[in-house]
Amino acid sequence: MKQSVGAKTLATPTPVWLVGTYDESGKPNIMTAAWGGICCSQPPCVTVSLRKATYSYAAIEQRKAFTISIPSEEQAAQADFVGIVSGRDVDKFAACGWSAVKSDLVDAPYVQETALVVECRLLQIVELGLHTQFIGEIIDIKADEAVLGEKGYPDITRVKPMIWDTAHRGYYGIGTFLGAAWSIGKSVSTG
Amino acid sequence: MKQSVGAKTLATPTPVWLVGTYDESGKPNIMTAAWGGICCSQPPCVTVSLRKATYSYAAIEQRKAFTISIPSEEQAAQADFVGIVSGRDVDKFAACGWSAVKSDLVDAPYVQETALVVECRLLQIVELGLHTQFIGEIIDIKADEAVLGEKGYPDITRVKPMIWDTAHRGYYGIGTFLGAAWSIGKSVSTG
């Protein structure tokens, strides 16, 4: 018999992504987001949800673009910092010792120091309540050569993305490999 | 200098969730989904994206509801199996040795054997292309007492949710604790 925990956003796992934007003056900014995910394979799309109060919200609306820089577990302190302060008050790139790279495909900057980045063109805005969902078409994925593995795709064990634990507000790394897809399930009988 | 990997759905991490539905005859079904995430805090909302070709697609449209059962890493084989076969052909609950529990809040079933489940009322449908995004309002979260931790919330180290590695098609567990939110970032200077 399961217990009711209430109508809370406790689905898990959720990512730790840094959303990159330019403000109206052209200043680059990043903010940490855990409300997001991939939402379509063709066209390849990803979503991030932001509160209207954030500095990044207006930036995405105006520039019709955003990036996602995916920090590694070695960058947990910076990723946390980026979620604590506002781009209105602080140059977060400078504080982290990071460089903003202007995407040559979309009107938004990404973090040079994160090994994996996603460049997105704004496709759709979905108003939901406290958060607004921005759906972006993935125009390109860029990665440092050091994290590329088989097929030239990013190797998750080198990218070392983080997990956001919303229930107890902390960060976790990626753990052990559990098995290959469309393979380990074959042990289950269809009767 | 980063390398272009192409316009692919390689953002990471993504979840491993089992979407629960009733078909038109009332037969319970589940399917594995990795395209999804939390998308709003108030009202609490979560998204899953499905292809029109799936058996679950029509079920959500008709019943205006779905659940998310979150498998643990010990359930990796079943979670993989559920993503291999179609509910048109196979009773996936029976094959996994799992029981379908009828939600008393929404018109959808969840998996008794997964320790954490999310009950959702369909709020919005967003057509994107190959995938359609279903946005559900979280009506309740239910959990086995064994996985509850501080504040009565699910403890991620007991729930042991899985990560889907889309780049190389495999499953990973949750790794080490990296730090507390709004805390480890304070080491970054704003000065």
DSSP string spanning A3-50?
EEEES----S-EE-EEEEEE-TT--EEEEEE-SEEEEETTTTEEEEEE
With a CB cutoff of 8 Å and minimum separation 6, the contacts of A119 are A65, A67, A103, A105, A106, A108, A110, A138, A139, A140, A141, A142
A118-143 tens-digit pLDDT:
999 999 999 999 999 999 999 999 99
Type of residue found at A136: G
The rounded distance, in Å, linking the Cα atoms of A165 and A40 is: 24
SS3 A185: helix
b/e for B132-143, b at 16 or more Cβ within 10 A?
bbbbbbbbbbbb
Dihedral of the alpha carbons of A132, A162, B130, A130, in degrees to the nearest 10: -10
DSSP code at position B161: B
Segment 24-83 of chain A within 8 Å of chain B by CB: 34-47, 49, 68, 70, 73, 76-83
Regions of chain A short of the pLDDT cut 70: 190-191
Residue B108, phi then psi, degrees to nearest 5: -160, 155
**What rounded mean pLDDT belongs to chain A?**
96
Cβ-nearest to B7 among A44, A175, A181: A44
B105-159 tens-digit pLDDT:
999 999 999 999 999 999 999 999 999 999 999 999 999 999 999 999 999 999 9
Contact check, Cβ <8 Å, B43/A129: yes
Count CA atoms closer than 13 A to A71's CA, side-chain side. Answer: 30
The rounded distance, in Å, linking the Cα atoms of A117 and A172 is: 20
Cα A81 vs. chain centroid, distance in angstroms?
15
pLDDT tens for chain B, residues 1 to 191: 899 999 999 999 999 999 999 999 999 999 999 999 999 999 999 999 999 999 999 999 999 999 999 999 999 999 999 999 998 889 999 999 999 999 999 999 999 999 999 999 999 999 999 999 999 999 999 999 999 999 999 999 999 999 999 999 999 999 999 999 999 999 997 65
A70-90 tens-digit pLDDT:
999 999 999 999 999 998 889
ipTM (interface pTM): 0.96
Q: Is B179 on the interface with A (CB under 8 A)?
A: yes
The percent helix, strand, coil of chain A (3-state, each to 5) is: 20, 45, 35
- A190 CB neighbours in chain B (<8 A) are 85, 90, 95
The rounded distance, in Å, linking the Cα atoms of B16 and B69 is: 9
Q: Does residue B43 have a cis bond before it (omega within 30 degrees)?
A: yes
Total-model pTM: 0.97
CB B17 within 8 A of CB B36: yes
Residue of A nearest to B81 (CA): A185
The number of beta carbons lying within 10 Å of the beta carbon of residue A86 is 13
